[in-house]
Amino acid sequence: MTPRVVFKKASRWYGPVMALNDVSFELGPGVYGLLGPNGAGKSSLLKLACGQLRPSQGTVELLGRPAFGSPEVFHSVGLCSDTDALFEDFTGFQFVCALLSLNGFGSIQASRLATEVIETVDLKDAMHRKVGGYSKGMRQRIKLAQALAHKPEVLFLDEPLTGMDPQNRKRISDLMKRLGDEGRTVLVSTHILHELEQVTRRVLLIHNGRVLAEGDLGEIRDLLDRHPRSVRLRARDPRGLARELVLLPDLVSLTLEDASGHLLAEIRKPDAFFARVQELSVACGVEEMWVTDENLESVFSYLVSK
Amino acid sequence: MTSETLSLATRPLWPATKDVLLISIERMLPRPRSFWVFLLLSLPVAFGALLRIYPPPGLPLTGFELYGMVIALFFVRNLLPLVALLFGSALISDAVDSKTLTYFLTRPISRLSIFLGEFLAYLVTVLTLTVPCVVVTYLVLCAATPQGAGFGAPDLVQDLAACALTLFTYGAVFALLGVSLKRPLIPGLLFLFVWEGFVANFPGDAPNYTLTAYARSLIRHRPAEEGLAELFSKFFGVGESVLVLGFVGVVSLALAIWIFSRREYVISS
């Protein structure tokens, strides 16, 4: 399938400040996480992706057309930006209908789509109230509603869960996952890593304007050979297990925690390590083993600390 | 999954412009700025009502002459250009400041539609505020003249057209200023009160380069100038004035659209 979002050696600078540097990637259907610390270039990347900025160098394509200066692609693209801006005097329903009218929907169709999407984001009870009186979480959800209302193929969501209560975070996370499963392309920028982890394992890690890593979270983690992975083991005979494991060439460190009786190993080549543990599992009575740092938070920390 | 889309083409100009216009009027008209401008525009009504209730003894001017003064000096010369500055320069910058421009820029409509929709919303808004004030001022000041209210009816229609053209031209000029500069208000005020305020009354050809000289020429029943003012004030024919104001308005609009269509708007949180 043709990728829907394509960055080819795209760079963007503001005067002497480099916001994005030689970025290349392609996005097809599915949910992708865009991760990076403040100032990493996430917002610039999203603005380039949805045609608000021109690349200073390289190209950015959206649905096969240059992202900047191709308004026609917005029939099939939705954006939920991170700015807390709405038409304050409009009701939630009017707000979504008004933006649907800009997409070319007639009033009856716009009303139907608006009602549908407002129900999806659980704002039906407040849809006829002015958005100026909405709580932070409600404002976030009505922003999301306007991005989803016309059922776009490509969605850019910038910090979509900000200000939401846990119940709605779960609801919107599930919605993002569902949209990805339906074949839409969803690029989610967030710093709430554990929530993103529940939605997708495909991530773009960005720092100092460069994409540090791209792909499946596990694959990215495997790229980080110089960063050892932490594995915790519980065994009937931890000392015997430790004696065997220290012989492995890719073991960085091994700690026996006296209090819990757990072994904490830092390893470089997890596959070889796991295979050896498997061999020793009966002899040493390995009861449990889990990787302690294979979540986005730790991958992200490793990468940006370099 | 298929997206519920109409087609993968930018929406036609006029339907898209109409949709932007409807949204923008709803956002522009009920604002505090409109309320305060309406109060300012209503001042002549209060002034006329006072004159009717407490007519000063020996007033040398008829109601119709007073109305002519109000139209020429208060509306066309001073207030309408100021109203145009307040609204016109804010056309796009308001949407940038409120961070809502993104909602328009991420829709399948051209920037030309966005700009035209906003500009038409400006015209509808300022005319909605201005026309009732001018008409009521006319009724209050002229209805009591010996000739009756009907005396100046053709002038009223011509005055309303002059007000509309003044608002169009100044609005377009200030819209151009608004898309070109980050802070257009101060340069706009300087333009109004320094350039337009003084140069229009210079001797020679200097008034040819001001808008106000053409705008005031549209008011045929303006009060007679006396002394130095009579010597220096230059007036043009109605046809010439309409042509110049229309030309400046259209060229300013075209330039503003050209700049808006090419410019990047970085809306940050």
A28 touching chain B per CB within 8 A: no
Confidence of residue B29 (pLDDT cuts 50, 70, 90): confident
Chain A residues with beta carbon closer than 8 angstroms to that of B7:
75
* Residue B150 clears pLDDT 90, i.e. is over it: no
Confidence of residue B223 (pLDDT cuts 50, 70, 90): low
Local confidence pLDDT in tens for the 306 residues of chain A: 688 999 999 999 988 888 899 999 999 999 999 988 777 888 899 999 999 999 999 999 999 999 999 999 999 999 999 888 999 999 999 999 999 999 999 999 999 999 999 999 999 999 999 999 999 889 999 999 999 999 999 999 998 888 777 788 888 999 999 999 999 999 999 766 667 777 888 988 888 888 888 878 767 766 666 667 888 888 888 888 899 899 888 888 999 887 778 899 988 877 788 888 888 888 888 888 887 776 666 666 676 665
B26 touching chain A per CB within 8 A: yes
Can you list the alpha helix ranges (DSSP code H) found in A149-295?
Answer: 166-181, 193-199, 217-223, 238-245, 270-284
What is the pLDDT at residue A162? 80
Chains A, B: CB contacts under 8 A, how many? 116
Lookup: tokens for B23: 């949204």
Chain B residues with beta carbon closer than 8 angstroms to that of A102:
16, 19-20, 23, 103-104, 107-109
A220 touching chain B per CB within 8 A: no
Q: How far, in whole angstroms, is CA B16 from its chain's centroid? A: 24
**How large is the C-alpha radius of gyration of chain A?**
23
- Among residues B50, B84, B82, the alpha carbon closest in space to that of B66 is found at B50
Report yes or no: A203 and A214 within 8 Å, Cβ to Cβ. yes
B19 touching chain A per CB within 8 A: yes
Chain A residues with beta carbon closer than 8 angstroms to that of B267:
52, 81, 83, 85
Confidence of residue B5 (pLDDT cuts 50, 70, 90): very low
B233 touching chain A per CB within 8 A: no
Confidence of residue B225 (pLDDT cuts 50, 70, 90): low
CB nearest A75 (choices: B7, B102, B266):
B7
**How large is the C-alpha radius of gyration of chain B?**
21
Confidence of residue B144 (pLDDT cuts 50, 70, 90): low
Q: Report how far residue A155's alpha carbon sits from residue A172's, in angstroms, rounded to the nearest whole number.
A: 13
Confidence of residue B41 (pLDDT cuts 50, 70, 90): very high
CB nearest A150 (choices: B5, B98, B266):
B5
Report yes or no: B113 and B17 within 8 Å, Cβ to Cβ. yes
Q: How many Cβ atoms are within 10 Å of A154's Cβ, its own excluded?
A: 23
Instruction: Render B129-153 in DSSP notation, one character per residue.
Output: HHHHHHHHHHHHHHTTSTT-GGGGH
Architecture in CATH for domain A5-222: 3-Layer(aba) Sandwich (3.40)
pLDDT in tens, A105-149: 999 999 999 999 999 999 999 999 999 999 988 999 999 999 999
A50 touching chain B per CB within 8 A: yes
Q: Report how far residue A43's alpha carbon sits from residue A145's, in angstroms, rounded to the nearest whole number.
A: 20
**B173 or B98, which is more confident:** B173
CB nearest A183 (choices: B1, B5, B102):
B1
By C-alpha distance, the chain A residue nearest B15 is A104
Lookup: tokens for B112: 């030309």
Contact check, Cβ <8 Å, B3/A101: no
Pairing of strands A154-158, A185-189: parallel
Q: Report how far residue A77's alpha carbon sits from residue B108's, in angstroms, rounded to the nearest whole number.
A: 9
Lookup: tokens for A150: 């016309």
Report yes or no: A31 and A81 within 8 Å, Cβ to Cβ. no
Q: Report how far residue B32's alpha carbon sits from residue B38's, in angstroms, rounded to the nearest whole number.
A: 10
- Among residues B159, B150, B166, the alpha carbon closest in space to that of B213 is found at B166
**Least confidently predicted of A94-98, B141-145, B210-214:** B141-145
The type of residue at A263 is L
**B6 or A138, which is more confident:** A138
Residue in the structure block whose two tokens are 């499946």: A216
Class for domain A224-305, per CATH? alpha beta
Q: Closest approach of chain B CAs to the CA of A145, in angstroms?
A: 13
* Residue B4 clears pLDDT 50, i.e. is over it: no
Lookup: tokens for B81: 């250009």
3-class DSSP assignment, residue B95: helix
Lookup: tokens for B29: 């008209």
Rounded to an integer, the average pLDDT of B55-70 is 79
3-class DSSP assignment, residue B57: coil
What is the pLDDT at residue B2? 42
Q: Report how far residue A253's alpha carbon sits from residue A228's, in angstroms, rounded to the nearest whole number.
A: 9
What phi-psi label fits residue A234: left (phi over 0), alpha (psi between -120 and 50 degrees) or beta? Answer: beta
Rounded to an integer, the average pLDDT of B54-77 is 82
Q: Report how far residue B112's alpha carbon sits from residue B20's, in angstroms, rounded to the nearest whole number.
A: 11
- Among residues A38, A48, A31, the alpha carbon closest in space to that of A216 is found at A31
Sequence-distant (≥ 6) Cβ neighbours of residue B129 within 8 angstroms: B34, B37, B38, B41, B83
Whole-angstrom CA distances from A131 to A73, B69, B190 are 28, 45, 38
Domain boundaries, chain A: 5-222, 224-305
Sequence-distant (≥ 6) Cβ neighbours of residue A99 within 8 angstroms: A146, A149, B103, B107
Report yes or no: A212 and A205 within 8 Å, Cβ to Cβ. yes
* Residue B145 clears pLDDT 60, i.e. is over it: no
